[in-house]
Structure 1
Amino acid sequence: MENIVFPQGFLWGAATAAFQVEGATGVDGRTDSIWDAFCRVPGKVVGGDTGEPGADHYRRFEQDVALMKELGLKAYRFSIAWPRVRPDGGKVNQAGLDFYRRLVDTLLAHDIVPWPTLYHWDLPQKLEEAGGWTERDTAFRFADYATATVEALGDRVGTWTTLNEPWCSAFLGYAAGIHAPGRTEPAAAAAAVHHLLLAHGLANDVIRSAAPDAKVGITLNMYPIIPVDPGNPADLDVARRLDGLQQRIFLDPLLRGEYPADILADLEPFGFGEHIVEGDLGVISAPMDMLGVNYYTEHYVSSSPNGSEAAPSPWIGVQHASFPRRDAPRTDMDWEVRPDGLTAVLLRLHHDYPRIPLYITENGAAFRDDFSGSGAIDDVDRTGYIASHLRAAHTAIRAGVDLRGYFCWSLLDNFEWAEGYAKRFGIVHVDYATQIRTPKMSARWFSRVARDNALVAVS
């Protein structure tokens, strides 16, 4: 393998999310999130599984942090559960805050950088019953939650992420109905987009006030949107619309202080502009210190319906679009393995938007684990996936992209949203019955990469 060395100080870590790994959903004052409620709806989650007990990280975090240290990880990206800190969106719950104090202190004691995300999709169910992200007030309740959290942890946490993948929260949760809260209301999804971005801006201001030296950012899931036929105006228009809903509707207000004019027009039938109040875009576009990028695959799109009459339901206002299959390796999620798309995403941000430090905050793959006769887990496909994407990231760095870190998704096998526990992304295997953790081959290999700050041969 060629010698691929990453820049000095490059940050190597792994990531999880509260609802996916913590378990203990009814412990120490935590109340229901929208995902607790969604998991109870028959047919919404594979196997009807819930986040309890899952990987039981709430009770086993010390063991897990020790494992991170053993693997040589330098940072841990985790999310804080809103319904633990302010149950039902109400008053502060000290027991919930104390858990995250203990987690942060344990990470620091092991020389691991805590990298918390304030929102990874677990809106308190009581707030959803009051309208959820369709209501402007939810953004202000998020600011209250951010205030309590940052005041408790801001003296020990140097980097904060406000939201994880607001596209999923808005479009999968409110338009497609395949994520919590399970609504299929296009106008609600349009409202949720703006209110999530407003929540980010308000939280950014809260963090600046409570922890002036902290760095603040947001994490977006990004994918190249590639037309099947670049010479076909209809394919180009489908790609424009999907790119606008997936990427530009978030990037442009955050980094340019404005929504894309074409997407404003596309969403006019859904009342999107009615939610934008004077001054909002100034709040949303307040300077950030970094942008997190979650990358898994590409979208290859056509204007041909291919037997369907409409685009998949998340893409509101888009008719006659399809996602043709190509001859490519696929993960257990049936996602194409396309590492070059990561290079393309990073270069687009570098060339098309104001410069901002970038971090890959999620990248990884679900594959079926292969247990050898010795009990080792030889996850060759997962290891190869990560290696190929690290090469793609390094290509972007060589081209001038200011990429400063990489977080593997995920540290632990976990609850994979609508897929329940049927899919495994972890570099560490979790036996959910016994709670035994077993580092896979990918974990041992990634450990060497982190220690060497360089890509090493897969063996």
Structure 2
Amino acid sequence: MKSLFPDQFMWGSATAAHQVEGNNLNSDVWVEEHAEGSPYKDKSGDAIDHYQRYREDIALLAGMGLNTYRFSIEWARVEPEPGDYSYAVIEHYRDVLKACYEHGLTPVVTLHHFTSPRWLMRFGGWASSETPARFANYCKFVFEEIGELIPYVQTMNEVNLPVLLKGLFTKMNIVPPVGIDASYWTAPKWREVSAEQCGTTMDRYFTFHMASDDNSIRIVNEAHILARAAIKAIRPDAKVGLSMALSDMQSIPGGEENAQEAWDAIFQPYLAAIQEDDFFGLQNYTREVYGAEGQLPPAMDAELTQMGYEYYPEALENVIRRVASVLKLPILISENGIATDNDARRIEFIRSALSGVQSCIADGIDIRGYLYWSAFDNFEWQFGYSKTFGIIGVNRATQERTIKESGNFLGRIAKNNEIDLTIS
């Protein structure tokens, strides 16, 4: 049985600048990787050298059959010091965009994917009331210079991740991989070193991953609103949105209230800020199940991914339906994927997830595209290079790329704009 998708459906994959470009020296995360006592398993280093190899990489994605590439522009490169913009860097990103068009890929640009310039910490980071205007000015510069080449833009990636992280690591009683909240911190020395390296003190050191209290959530929302206005003032026809990380919150009898509270905590605080957006970036990887006492661990016999998530591709359909029931915006699935060294399971994950997507489309939900995370095996933040999400493998000793069968599978779906649910 074959399932068809709408004409002009966006088929692609995604990356984030810090995870693939390499040598992002001016960012706060680079500082944290190198601080004494850092919990980062690896240093990002050259990453997969995408900053140099982007044309080769874009050609690979297009050759597989994809028609969309989501990537991020690195604020720390564009604005290495406050108000000091790099025209050399903006020309680099101009060429990345041109390469996309040359190969028939629609670019979807994220302007902030977790990392910020280290200098932002001197001004209080994402706890400062000045940050929304600073972020909007950066977005304004990007769109003044290369906005005519950017049809789809996400101001920020996973604005709600700080709330997810705060809850997750509090429940697990372990040291978070990045700053969360001082009251939950149990090993602050590396964070003190990071603050010092950024030219500030711990009381002013507040990274994006820490934006989980009411004040910083308000600041993130304001940053999005001001950035959207700045972008629209320059390019009114640009499609502007942001993305959220949303697990499928399920419950067993007695856990319904806990599941609802968990959903509300990660979804509701941002709704007012996105009502005037052009689309919603939906990102999903798994489900969470709640009982009367709170979140339950996966069943003993559950299949787990390298990240420790339950293998549950059906979660994507459930989250799409839940979002669409309350948010009347077109949906772009800007991330969905699996970390595994078993590529056959990745293929099945993609097939099952897309079956759910097609079912939602058949029921009239406006879904504009599916972007798999990630295009490449890359630097997975505090886990280093140990997690393999990619549909393209990378030998980091040689930087050789190898398209996995899952990449060919997704490429065939993209070229045919349909999925055969019965065969590989």
What TM bracket, shorter-length normalisation?
Answer: 0.7 to 0.9
| Equivalent residue, structure 1, for 2:33 | 39
Letter in 2 for 1:339: P
Q: Give the alignment of 1:214-363 within 5 angstroms.
A: 214-229=238-253, 232=254, 235-250=255-270, 252-255=271-274, 285=275, 287-304=276-293, 321-326=294-299, 327-353=301-327, 355-363=328-336
Conserved? CA contact 1:15–1:361, under 8 Å: yes
Check 1:451–1:344 CA distance in 2 against 1; reply closer, same or farther (3 A cut).
Answer: same
Distance, in Å, in 2 between the alignment partners of 1:347 and 1:171 is: 21
Aligned-partner Cα distance in 1 for 2:346–2:80: 37
Q: Deviations over 1:129-163 (max 9, x none)?
A: 42211112111110011011111111111111111
More moved, 165-174 vs 74-83: 165-174
What amino acid is aligned across from residue 423 of structure 1 in structure 2? K
Worse overlay, 150-159 or 425-434? 150-159
Alignment CA distance shift 1:240-1:11 (3 Å) = same
TM-score (structure 2 length as normaliser):
0.87
Shift in Å, 1:43: 5.4
Task: Give unmatched runs, 5+ long, in structure 1.
Answer: 256-284, 305-320, 370-378
Q: Distance in 2 between matches of 1:40 and 1:173?
A: 23
Separation of aligned partners in 1, 2:318 and 2:269: 19
Give, as a single letter, the amino acid of the residue that structure 1 aligns with 2:176: I
What value does the CA root-mean-square deviation take over the aligned residues? 2.0
The separation in 2 between residues aligned to 1:173 and 1:94, in whole angstroms, is 37
Deviations 1:228-268 (A, max 9, x none): 32xx3xx3332232112112222x3235xxxxxxxxxxxxx
Q: Closer, same or farther in 2 for the Cα pair 1:458/1:53, shift >3 Å? A: farther
1:199 to 208, 217, 223: 223
Corresponding residue pairs, total: 391
Residues 446 and 171 (structure 1), Cα distance of their counterparts in 2 relative to 1, 3 Å cut? closer
Separation in 2 of the partners of 1:303 and 1:363? 29
Q: 1:59-458 counterparts in 2 under 5 A?
A: 59-169=52-162, 172=165, 176=169, 178-181=176-179, 183-185=181-183, 189-190=212-213, 191-229=215-253, 232=254, 235-250=255-270, 252-255=271-274, 285=275, 287-304=276-293, 321-326=294-299, 327-353=301-327, 355-369=328-342, 379-456=343-420, 458=423
**In 2, Cα distance between equivalents of 1:438 and 1:403:** 30
Query: For residues 243 and 95 of structure 1, what CA distance do their matches in structure 2 show?
Result: 43
Aligned residues of 2:224 and 2:273 also touching (Cα < 8 A): no
Q: Deviation at 1:322?
A: 3.3
Q: Report how far residue 212 of structure 1 moved.
A: 1.4
Identity %: 33
- After superposition, the Cα gap between the structure-2 partners of 1:174 and 1:302, relative to the gap in structure 1 and judged at 3 Å, is closer
Structure ranking higher on relative contact order (CA contacts 8 Å, 6+ apart): 2
Runs (4+) of structure 1 moved beyond 6 Å? none
| The 10-residue stretch of structure 1 (433-442 or 124-133) with the greater mean CA deviation from structure 2 | 124-133
Distance 1:62 1:407, change over 3 A: same
Pairwise CA distance, 1:182: 5.4
Three-state SS of the structure 2 residue aligned to 1:145 is helix
TM-score normalized by the length of structure 1: 0.81
